[in-house]
Amino acid sequence: MSIKVENLVVKYGDYCAVSDVSLEISDGEALGIIGKNGAGKTTLVETMEGLGDKTSGSVSINGIDPSDNKNRKKLYNMISVQLQSTNYPDKAKVEDLCKLFSSICDNPVDYKELLGQFDLTEKVNKSVGSLSGGQKQKLSILLALISHPKIIFLDELTTGLDPDARRELWKDLRDLKKKGVTIILVSHYMDDIEMVCDKIGIMKKGKLITVGTKEELIKASGLSRRITFTCNDNVSVLLDKLDGVANIDVLGDQYTIVVSKESAAKKCSEILGKNKIKYTDYVVSRPTLEDIFLHLINKSNGDEK
């Protein structure tokens, strides 16, 4: 077992940021952690990294307690961290930072290869202050990979990256998984989670309300299908009465309906036809991770239909 968390609690005064969280992550597995702002995601991973203090419970990374200062060097030879917000001196040059990070690693990756991989070779002699937001994000991830980590923690991985760079990074992370690297990814971007992670944990108000594969989360949510179509009429009242409708979203003339019963997709089109509603682009598909996330978050409140 690579990482084991048992009954972890983190409090700041009377505020409980992480409440009785337990989870296990195997070697070479990628776990995505999602939740609304303030759900406790970053606090959880920072405690796992040894960057924050726990109130109670335990964390073990390959048998090492991250809070034990005696084993910090051994721990940090195994893990690497890309924080949600990282600042480097504006006047520092990209290559100087790469050399600095390489010098403190026992088995560093050739940073020149990483610069090419992240399309930063031309910036090697430029200052950090001259980089764009996306380039700074790339540099932060690059520096986290220099140490050849066995476990890597990534918080809001692709913020500021263009679509092409995001896809390249997904491929890089999948390649790392194939090499046995364990990945813990915190993100608000559901496609980051879907493209990289084997399992997904959903946090709400400090609690880990569920964890599993996407298929397991679909089963836990009880959702069946997502229906989308284009329509200029207001049909929400008609479809809201349909048995099995979990959620209806309307953006302009675009309707998105998530249902918990297979039959609802057919009945939806029947209702539109019966009421002589004109519509186009009618598509029935599987629920998205965002659909599942929102439904399970509301379900934990008892707000679902």
On the question of pLDDT at 179 being above 90, the answer is no
The dihedral sign for the CA sequence 254, 255, 258, 263 = negative
Alpha helices in the chain (DSSP H): 41-49, 72-76, 94-103, 111-117, 133-145, 163-178, 190-196, 214-221, 236-240, 263-274, 289-299
Token representation of residue 277: 């509603």
Q: How confident is the model at residue 1 (pLDDT cuts 50, 70, 90)?
A: low
More confident residue, 245 or 303: 245
Token representation of residue 174: 């999948």
Q: What is the pLDDT of residue 305?
A: 47
Cβ atoms of 227 and 259 within 8 Å: the answer is yes
Distance of alpha carbon 305 from alpha carbon 301, whole angstroms: 11
pLDDT (mean) for 108-119: 90
pLDDT (mean) for 20-40: 94
Cβ atoms of 288 and 230 within 8 Å: the answer is no
Q: What is the pLDDT of residue 301?
A: 62
Q: What tens digit of pLDDT does each residue of 229-277 get?
A: 999 999 998 898 888 899 999 999 999 999 998 888 889 999 999 999 9
Q: What is the pLDDT of residue 106?
A: 83
Q: Which of 62, 70, 284, 48 is nearest to 153 (CA)?
A: 48
Average pLDDT over all residues of the chain: 90
Q: What tens digit of pLDDT does each residue of 115-143 get?
A: 998 889 999 999 999 998 778 888 888 89
Q: Which of 300, 301, 35, 61 is nearest to 193 (CA)?
A: 35
On the question of pLDDT at 303 being above 60, the answer is no
Q: What is the pLDDT of residue 32?
A: 96
Q: What is the pLDDT of residue 156?
A: 83
Distance of alpha carbon 161 from alpha carbon 110, whole angstroms: 23
What percent of the chain has pLDDT above 90?
A: 63
Token representation of residue 295: 């439904």
More confident residue, 152 or 117: 152
Q: What is the pLDDT of residue 125?
A: 95
Token representation of residue 132: 């764009």
Q: What tens digit of pLDDT does each residue of 215-225 get?
A: 999 999 999 99
The residue assigned the tokens 């379900």 is: 299
Token representation of residue 35: 């939740």
Q: Give me the DSSP letters along 112-176.
A: HHHHHHTT-GGGTTSBGGGS-HHHHHHHHHHHHHTT--SEEEEESTTTT--HHHHHHHHHHHHHH
On the question of pLDDT at 160 being above 80, the answer is no
On the question of pLDDT at 102 being above 70, the answer is yes
The residue assigned the tokens 């990070």 is: 101
Cβ atoms of 183 and 176 within 8 Å: the answer is yes
Cβ atoms of 44 and 203 within 8 Å: the answer is yes
Q: What domains appear along the chain, each with residue ranges and CATH number?
A: 3-218 (3.40.50.300), 224-286 (3.30.70.980)
Q: What's at 145, amino acid-wise? A: L
Token representation of residue 301: 């409140």
